[in-house]
A and B are shown apart, each in its own frame.
Chain A
Amino acid sequence: MNRSVFRNSKKSKTFLTILFAVISIIYILPIVTVLINSFKANAYINTETFALPTEESYVGLDNYIKGMNYGNYPFFKAVGYSLVITIFSTALILICTSMAAWYITRVNSRFCKLVYLMCVFSMVVPFQMVMFTLAKTADSVHIPYYSFLSHSLESVGLNTPWTIPIIYLGFGAGLAVFMFAGFVKSLPVEIEEAAAIDGCGPFRTFFMVVLPMLKPTLISVGVLEIMWIWNDYLLPYLVLDRTKYMTIPILIQYQKGSYGAVDLGVTMALILLSIVPIIIFYLTCQRHIIKGVAAGAVKG
């Protein structure tokens, strides 16, 4: 038995292929079950979880239609906020931390070393350690901006989807700076020196010479941040003003966690809608995601 599995014979390979095909099907069954149950009436989900919808239990797209405004919160608003937060935060993290990591590595002053050490340190701090104080800080720190609607100077806290990227930058900076700095250290200084001799200032040196070379790390960090922020529940739940802004995980938890009549069919419909974009994203940039995860894990 042992021999036949590990020897590179044709028979054992076919056996492994069939075995893994079966396991793969079992592996995606939970998602298929969600799909099936999103078309069933609530009453049938607990009793006939694994049965296909019958004429009695089938409700067509009712669950999806109900889900659009379940709990008096439009589902697409949550999708929009999730998108805004994920895209803005990831972009902000990539730009700011790559610049910071380059600065830290090249200047290498005492202050830079301190910042770098703090970044490494922050990677081992669990979110529960700072959750209460972070949420309070986000409420109290305000950013002034000029409003073109009222033509006056106003200010906004860090508890909105447009300002929460700053919180994500702060809490997520550790891993990103660590990964970028690791890569910058491996880049030859000579290239940047050549650019400097050719008359490039640090700004152009970074954006036209260093940043293109950072591409593999940009992808790794980007993938890790997107996976983290899109699925994050507790940070936005505590920081955002919940009466106005909900992300997809918050909305699903709010509906399922609220006491009273929970409609499982609607929950399944919303879960399916929230998984579909991730799966499409995954299948289209699969190569990058898998590479990014492998690289990120080896360094982190």
Chain B
Amino acid sequence: MEQKKPKKRHSLAVNGNMLSGTIRKWFPLFLLPTVAAFAIGFVYPFIKGIYLSFCNFKTTSNAKFVGLENYIKALSDSSFMHSFWFTALFAIVSLVLINVIAFAVAYALTRGIKGSNIFRTVFFMPNLIGGIVLGYIWSMIFDGILSRYGTSILLDSTLGFWGLIILMCWQQIGYMMIIYIAGLQSVPEELIEAAKIDGANGWQTLFHVTIPCVMPSITICTFLSLTNGFKLFDQNMALNGGQPFEFLADGNVIKTTEMLALNIYNTFYQNSNSRGVGQAKAVIFFLLVAALGLIQLNATRKKEVQQ
């Protein structure tokens, strides 16, 4: 055994090198197309975007360097701060609701009840519909209900908030449910049997056996719904577009249901004089989402090591 092991490793290394050596010559066919597109579609726009966040510009060609001015303007913009808190609240509320409901549904559907396949199909379906279309479907439904009470989703920011939450739940529960079902199906039967024999009741088995076993799925789903909540754009624009507006004493306008992504978009495209500020906001937004994403990657990697 001890003799075989190093021998095998040695031959592998030689072959591996030979293989990689011959593949290396094929760079133009295998790697170049992706790298070139990646440079055009991501790397260059990203670097240019960071540079432009320190500039005053209307188009990319007439940029003037202004230092940190844009960042100061962005952070002192009351509408941006409002949208940050609105988005954070939205992301947390939707995170809790989506995950609790999706887990409950997944748990029930893995009990072997009749028709679970049909239910799974139905619950996942809204996920395939795009955000713009979803927004307009629900704006029709909400207006149909609210018009009886003489109001509209566009008139009340609390209604707008809960409208977005309902829409988001309708869309995302199915997706998270699929991930939870995959996690629940990988929980070994013997563990649950053993818990039952030991006299654990339904709730005890759920909290002390099942949930610890599906922790990886829970990490994935919570962070997915958190970043999805933060990045929400299409649904926000189509459902209420930030309405109702609130006029402040200092002349500023706050769009009360405007989320971060939409706020950035409006800063860019509603007023071409504030593009530098828009780009600075986008960088702040990126840092925020990237921090969340990196925490997620770290957490999942740790989980993988444990497994």
Interface residues of A (CB under 8 A from B): 2-3, 5-8, 13-14, 16-17, 20-21, 23-24, 27-28, 30-31, 33-34, 37, 45-47, 49-50, 96-97, 99-100, 102-104, 106-109, 112, 115, 118-120, 122-134, 136-138, 141, 158, 166-171, 173-174, 177, 189, 192-193, 196, 201-203, 206, 227, 230-234, 248-249, 252-253, 256, 264, 267-268, 271, 274-275, 278-279, 281-283, 286, 289-290, 293-294, 297-298
Contact = CB atoms under 8 A, between A and B. Distances in A.
Interface of B: 12, 15-16, 18-20, 22-27, 29-31, 33-35, 37-46, 48-49, 52, 59-60, 108-109, 111-116, 118-133, 136-138, 140-141, 143-145, 147, 170, 175, 178-179, 181-182, 201-203, 205-206, 216-217, 220-221, 224, 230-231, 233-234, 237-238, 261, 264-265, 268, 275, 278-279, 282-283, 285-286, 289-290, 292-294, 297
B179 A294 contact: yes
B290 A167 contact: no
Nearest to A172: B41
A132 B282 CA distance: 10
Contacts of B234: 231, 233-234, 249
A297 B19 contact: no
A170 B42 contact: yes
Given A24-B122, A124-B289, A124-B293, A132 B141 contact: no
Contacts of A230: 130
B19 A13 contact: no
Contact of B60 (A133, A168, A233, A253): A133
B132 to A, nearest CB: 4
Given A189-B16, A256-B136, A122 B42 contact: yes
A3 B200 CA distance: 11
Contacts of A5: 202
A297 B227 CA distance: 13
A100 B34 contact: yes
Contacts of A293: 124, 175, 178-179
A197 B100 CA distance: 54
Given A46-B143, A290-B124, A125 B286 contact: yes
A130 B170 contact: no
B248 to A, nearest CB: 24
Contacts of B112: 8, 13
B30 A174 contact: no
Contacts of B203: 2, 6
Contact of B45 (A2, A126, A130): A130
A158 B127 CA distance: 29
B125 A34 contact: no
Contacts of B42: 118, 122, 125, 130, 170-171, 173-174
B34 A97 contact: yes
